[in-house]
Amino acid sequence: MNRTTLSKPLRWLAMAWAAGSFLLTACTPNPSSSAGPAPAAQTAPTDVAVAPVVNGKPMAYALFAGGCFWCIEADFEKLAGVLAVESGYTAGQTPQPTYEQVSAGHTGHTEAVRVLYDPSQVSYAQLVDYFWRHIDPTVKDQQFCDVGPQYRSGIYWQNEAERATAEASRDALIKSGRFSTIHTELAPSSAFHLAEDYHQDYYKKNEMRYSYYRLSCGRDARVKKLWG
């Protein structure tokens, strides 16, 4: 069985367990799940959300896509200075996309997270560096066992300062010789759509199912191989 065939069954199996049953018919991947429309060309950020003020201090948002949003959400919530992480969809065309639409690969979106952080505790550059070390930037339209443009990795900058930081970080990685090519998308931000409630904090609500999925997908093993 190839990796494309494995990806959606692992996700659906974890969610089926969370619902208390094995819905085997839901484990059959859509034959077109590894292909979808290319995101629309975009040259400037749109729909930039204003982060809240917490205890009189302005916070900030950052947008990243690192494959399964259950996993990248869990990773970012471990980082000091991060207040909250929301799972959702971005960089696509369909208004108000659902998980079923996005996972079928027909909307142009990628699974993503919106990170709420305190700039006085952690910088955007530190977030970007942390992000790289929790993904596989060497593959296109794929992260670990999940295959298709809906799982492509990306950094979605919201202003020119973030763009410069993201591009400098990518260029430094290539210059270091660690990777000859980086397929992670760097693009201006667009609308971020919150995923369904059951996806938020999935790793906390369904610890055993999440752990099974993450281990079976080989995420941590691949990250360790790439980054040490």
Other CB atoms within 10 A of residue 215 CB: 12
Q: Is 68 a catalytic residue?
A: yes
Cα–Cα distance measured from residue 72 to residue 117, given in angstroms and rounded to the nearest whole number: 15
Selecting among 68, 71, 145, 217, the annotated active-site residue is 68
**In a 3-state reduction of DSSP, which class is residue 188?**
strand
Q: Record the tokens describing residue 95, joined without a space.
A: 């208004």
End-to-end CA distance of the chain: 28
**How many alpha carbons fall within 13 Å on the CB side of residue 153?**
21
Cα–Cα distance measured from residue 10 to residue 67, given in angstroms and rounded to the nearest whole number: 13
| CB environment 26-41: b (16+ within 10 A), e (fewer) | beebeeebbebeebee
**How many residues are there in the chain?**
228
Give catalytic residue positions.
68
